[in-house]
Amino acid sequence: GQQVMQIPQYQHVQEGEDFTTYCNSSTTLSNIQWYKQRPGGHPVFLIQLVKSGEVKKQKRLTFQFGEAKKNSSLHITATQTTDVGTYFCAPSRGGSARQLTFGSGTQLTVLP
């Protein structure tokens, strides 16, 4: 079956520092989604990457999909306290949401 590793599991940064979380798969992916879960909240969809080598930006967030479609990253520039939460990658074997599996998540703490 599909093996997904997300690292790091925890990350503490000082406000203003950058942050990156990585998601690595043992198999080629169809696409990958990213979700954010605030403390005490529920996962919220951020973005989906479909094409090999794709890069998408949302303000201070940059999402990348590897050329081989086996890995992905989420980079946050100049973190703010509002970035606190757990970031999940959710790779998919196909196009249906039923085929999504979730990485173990990276819990980000931003120290003011």
Binding site for another protein (CB under 8 A): 31, 33, 35, 37, 41-45, 48, 50, 86, 88, 90, 95-98, 100-102, 104-105, 107
* Least distance (Å) between residue 16 CB and another protein: 25
- Per-position DSSP letters for 38-97, written without gaps between them: -TTS--EEEEEE-STT-EEEETTEEEEE-TTSSEEEEEESS--GGG-EEEEEEEESSSSG
* Least distance (Å) between residue 3 CB and another protein: 14
- For β-strands 55-58 and 44-49, DSSP reports them as unpaired
Cβ nearer to another protein, comparing 107 with 109: 107
* Least distance (Å) between residue 71 CB and another protein: 19
